[in-house]
Structure formats: structure tokens, C-alpha cells
Amino acid sequence: TQLLEQSPQFLSIQEGENLTVYCNSSSVFSSLQWYRQEPGEGPVLLVTVVTGGEVKKLKRLTFQFGDARKDSSLHITAAQPGDTGLYLCAGARNNDMRFGAGTRLTVKP
Amino acid sequence: GAVVSQHPSRVICKSGTSVKIECRSLDFQATTMFWYRQFPKKSLMLMATSNEGSKATYEQGVEKDKFLINHASLTLSTLTVTSAHPEDSSFYICSAAPPSGALYEQYFGPGTRLTVT
């Protein structure tokens, strides 16, 4: 059983569309990270959220940490083909960090 | 962000041989490094946590005698896959946590693609 559930697993959209990816758990995390991974490469850290209800923006990406620190969302505005990749969330708690299964995003030109 | 390197990026070895993968933190000292395995189109599976100067902590189901981890310095951890078999073929990724005490900010290496023939 995955500690962190990500949805959707796969998402294929057209350039210019908006999308939201979710990361949910029944556990409380001290922090949550979002990573993006391209094929054949290691994950790249996008953002870390620590405070319940926190919202962080990174250009067209908006990250939100749930009030109870059990879930998070990633919203991409006006997606571009360069956004294509595997988006992974990872939660840290009790000196341990676990990854979700990832959302594979494809943005078609 | 911090830089973590891995070497080699790709390796092909014959069944029964051993292969060593290096993970280096280039611009910070990492007391803790992590080794992950990733199957095609799947997420990362934590194999072990490597602590400088002490034995690695392995996740359940990971054979410590098969996947030997050495963290001899604050900038280098190595993973040796011993007596490799085709089922060990995978993408191995390491990460390092800066010594800020914040476990959550791990920086990943580019990965090593291991193919066992």
C-alpha cells in the first residue's frame, strides 16, 4: 500500500491547458516535496512545503499544502510541452521520507 | 540547488559479476545519502539509507549482502551490486541531504542505468 497516493497516474493534455495533480495520505507529514523527473535522469526538487495551508508559486506552477498537512496539490497553468515529465510528491515524517507513485504528464504541442 | 553526481551513468555487466556505483555530493558535505531503485515508469523505491562512518540501514526486503553500501566520506557513498543477475537490471538513483538537519531536502543524482546480461 502506497503511503502517498498520487492522482491521476497519467495525464495527457494539450498545450495551453491547465491541470492539477494531487498527492494524498492519511498520515501527517512534517513537510512535503514535489519533484519532476525526466526520462533517464534523477528527480529535480521543485518545492518544499512545510506549513499547513501554505501556498508556493514557481512561475506557472502553484503548490499547496493541505491545512492538516496530509495532502498537497500541484497546479500548472497554461501547460507547455516542456512541462512533460514524471511529477513525484514525497512526504517526510519521523526522520523518514517516502515517495508517491508519481503522475506522468504529457503535454502535446 | 545542490549538485550530486553519479558514476557511471550507464553500465552493462555480465551475470555473476559485481558492479560499483559511486555517488558524490559536489558542493556540500552529506552525512546522509540515500539509494533508490526505479523500475521503468515506476516511482522510486528506497533501498537503504547510508550514514557516513556507520553501517547502512536497509529497507525491508533489500538484501544487504547483495547491495553493499559504503559511505566512507562526507562526499562519497558507493553501492556495489554483487553477483549481479538480470533481475537486478534497473535505474539506480542516489540522493544526498545537506547537513542542515532537514532530511526532506534531498538532492538527487542523475541516476545509473544498470543492465545485467
Q: Give CA–CA dist A104/A39, Å, rounded.
A: 11
- Closest-approach residue (CA) in chain B for A98: B46
Of B99 and B52, the structure prediction assigns the larger pLDDT to B52
pLDDT digits (tens, 9 = 90+) for B69-107: 998 888 999 999 999 999 999 999 999 987 765 666 788
Q: Give CA–CA dist B96/A55, Å, rounded.
A: 26
Q: Give CA–CA dist B75/B32, Å, rounded.
A: 10
Residue type, B13: C
- Average pLDDT for A95-104: 86
Residues A37, A98, B10, B4: is their CA dihedral positive or negative? positive
**What pLDDT does residue A92 have?**
86
For cell 562526499, the residue is B75
Give the pLDDT band (50/70/90) at residue B28: confident
Are the beta carbons of B43 and A41 separated by less than 8 Å? Answer: no
What secondary structure letter does DSSP report for B83?
Answer: S
Do the bridges between strand A19-24 and strand A71-76 make them parallel or antiparallel, or are there none, so unpaired?
antiparallel
Are the beta carbons of B111 and A42 separated by less than 8 Å? Answer: yes
CB-based burial of residue B37 (10 Å sphere; 0-12 exposed, 13-18 middle, 19+ buried)?
Answer: buried
Q: Give CA–CA dist A46/A56, Å, rounded.
A: 10
Give the pLDDT band (50/70/90) at residue A96: confident
- Average pLDDT for A5-11: 95
Give the pLDDT band (50/70/90) at residue B51: confident
**What pLDDT does residue B10 have?**
96
Q: Is the pLDDT of residue A1 over 60?
A: no
Pairs of CB atoms within 8 A across A/B: 55
**What pLDDT does residue B87 have?**
95
**What pLDDT does residue A94 have?**
72
**What pLDDT does residue A58 have?**
95
Residues of A with CB under 8 A from a CB of B: 30-33, 35, 40-45, 48, 88, 90, 92, 95-102, 104
Are the beta carbons of A41 and B6 separated by less than 8 Å? Answer: no
Question: What's the mean pLDDT when you consider all of chain B?
Answer: 90
Mutation site for B-interface testing, chosen from A97, A99, A105, A106 by largest number of B Cβ within 10 Å: A97
**What pLDDT does residue B90 have?**
95
